C-alpha cells in the first residue's frame, strides 16, 4: 500500500515516521524548505517510546506522478485548502483519504472536492510539537490513530488499512463509530480551547481560582449540548471524563490553540470554535462562552 503523508510536521511526521520505520511504503509531501531540512538532517523523533531518525522518501506537489492508495492528511485546518490543491494529483479511483484534523469542517471540504467515496473518518491522539531544530518531540505517552468508514461499515478496504496500521509502533484501531469518536474529540477540544484561551491559563490554573470550575463546566456543557443536538451526545462515562479532566485543579493541560496563541502563531479558531458556534446557532442553542472564546481568538488573529 503506497502511503502519502501530507504534512511532515508534529502529527503527520510522528505517525508517518513510525509507519516508515516499521517498513511501510511511506512518502511525505513537503514544501521545499522542509524538504531541504529533512534531506540534510533526516526526520528525527524524540519520544518516550524511543527516539528514531529516518531518511524519509519525499515528494513536492509538482513531482506527484500518480495516485496513492492512502493519503494520511495531517495539516493545520487553516492550511487545508492549499494542501488539497497540492495532493489532488495523488487521488485516484481507489485512493483513501484519512484526515487527522481537528473539528468536523474538513470533512465537508474534502467531500466537496473529492466526493464521498475517498473520504474516511479519522481521529488521532498525540501530544507533539516541532522544536526549533525541526525535530518532532512527543511530550506525552499517548499515541493513537482511529479510522473508519463514515457510514459505520467495516469494509474490505478498512480491513486492508487496519492490517497496514497494526504493529507500526502506535495504537491503531478500525472503528464502526468513527463519527462519534470525532465528535467526542471535537467536544473536548472546543471546551479545552475555550477554557484555556478565553480564561487565560492551564486547566488547573483556571480550576484553582474562585469561579473557575463553574466557568469551565459551563463551557463543557455548551459543547456537550451542541453534540447532543446533532445526534452525537457522548456516553455518560465520556461526558463525565471530559468534565472531570477539564476541571482538575492539578492539571497542567492546555489546548494547542492556547500554546499557538502564546507563541504568536496562527490558531484553528474557526475550525474548532467558530464552526461549533455556527452549528449551535443553526439549532437555536445558546453558547455565549464558546462564542466569546471564538471572538477572542478572532481578535487575536486579526491583530497578528
Look at residue 74 in the predicted model and tell me its pLDDT: 93
- CATH 1.10.1040.10 applies to domain 181-303: yes
Query: Which residues on adjacent β-strands are paired with residue 6?
Result: 29, 73
Confidence tier at 228 by pLDDT (50, 70, 90):
very high
Q: What's the mean pLDDT when you consider all of the chain? A: 96
- The confidence score (pLDDT) of residue 149 equals 98
pLDDT digits (tens, 9 = 90+) for 195-211: 999 999 999 999 999 99
Strands (E), 74-192: 96-99, 121-130, 136-148, 171-174
Look up cell 472503528; give the residue: 175
Confidence of residue 120 (pLDDT cuts 50, 70, 90): very high
227-253 in b/e form (b: 16+ CB < 10 A) is: bbeeebbbeeebbeebbeebbbeebeb
Residue 304 has pLDDT above 90, yes or no: no
Asked if residue 112 has pLDDT above 90, the reply is yes
Across residues 143-164, what is the average pLDDT?
97
- pLDDT at residue 8, rounded to an integer: 87
Tell me: the pLDDT tens digits for 57-80? Answer: 999 999 999 999 999 999 988 999
Residue ranges matching CATH 3.40.50.720 in the chain: 2-176
Residue range(s) occupied by CATH 1.10.1040.10 in the chain: 181-303
The DSSP annotation for 199-230 comes to: HTS-HHHHHTSTTHHHHHHHHHHHHHHHHHHT
Average pLDDT, stretch 81-110? 96
pLDDT recorded at residue 140: 87
Name the band, by pLDDT with cuts 50, 70 and 90, for residue 160. Answer: very high
Rounded average pLDDT over 244-272: 94
Q: What is the pTM of this model?
A: 0.93
pLDDT at residue 47 above 90?
A: yes
Instruction: Report how far residue 203's alpha carbon sits from residue 206's, in angstroms, rounded to the nearest whole number.
Output: 5
Which one is the CATH code of 2-176: 3.30.420.40, 3.40.50.720, 1.10.760.10, 3.40.50.12140?
A: 3.40.50.720
Per-residue pLDDT of 12-32, as tens digits, reads 999 999 999 999 999 999 988
The pLDDT-based confidence of 214 (bands split at 50, 70, 90) is: very high
Amino acid at each position: 500500500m503506497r502511503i502519502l503523508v501530507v504534512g511532515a510536521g508534529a502529527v503527520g511526521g510522528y505517525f508517518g515516521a513510525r509507519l516508515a520505520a516499521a517498513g511501510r511504503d511511506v512518502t511525505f509531501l513537503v514544501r521545499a524548505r522542509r524538504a531541504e531540512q529533512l534531506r540534510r538532517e533526516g526526520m528525527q523523533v524524540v519520544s518516550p517510546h524511543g527516539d528514531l531518525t529516518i531518511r524519509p522518501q519525499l515528494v513536492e506537489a509538482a513531482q506527484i506522478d500518480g495516485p496513492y492508495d492512502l493519503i494520511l492528511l495531517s495539516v493545520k485546518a487553516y492550511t487545508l485548502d492549499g494542501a488539497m490543491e497540492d495532493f489532488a494529483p495523488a487521488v485516484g479511483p481507489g485512493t483513501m483519504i484519512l484526515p487527522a484534523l481537528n473539528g468536523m469542517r474538513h470533512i465537508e471540504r474534502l467531500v466537496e472536492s473529492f466526493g464521498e467515496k475517498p473520504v474516511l473518518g479519522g481521529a488521532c491522539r498525540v501530544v507533539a510539537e516541532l522544536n526549533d531544530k525541526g525535530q518532532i518531540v512527543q511530550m506525552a505517552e499517548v499515541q493513537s490513530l482511529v479510522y473508519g468508514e463514515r457510514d459505520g461499515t467495516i469494509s474490505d478496504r478498512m480491513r486492508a488499512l487496519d492490517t497496514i496500521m497494526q504493529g507500526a509502533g502506535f495504537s491503531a484501531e478500525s472503528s464502526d463509530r468513527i463519527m462519534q469518536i470525532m465528535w467526542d474529540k471535537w467536544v473536548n477540544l472546543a471546551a479545552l480551547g475555550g477554557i484555556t484561551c478565553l480564561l487565560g491559563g492551564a486547566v488547573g490554573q483556571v480550576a484553582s481560582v474562585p469561579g473557575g470550575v463553574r466557568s469551565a463546566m459551563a463551557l463543557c456543557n455548551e459543547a456537550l449540548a451542541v453534540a447532543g443536538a446533532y445526534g452525537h451526545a457522548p456516553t455518560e462515562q465520556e461526558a463525565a471524563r471530559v468534565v472531570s479532566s477539564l476541571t482538575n485543579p492539578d492539571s497542567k493541560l492546555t489546548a494547542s490553540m492556547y500554546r499557538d496563541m502564546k507563541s504568536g502563531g496562527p490558531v484553528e479558531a474557526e475550525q474548532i470554535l467558530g464552526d461549533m458556534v455556527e452549528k449551535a446557532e443553526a439549532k437555536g442553542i445558546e453558547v455565549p462562552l464558546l462564542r466569546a472564546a471564538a471572538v477572542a481568538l478572532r481578535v487575536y488573529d486579526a491583530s497578528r
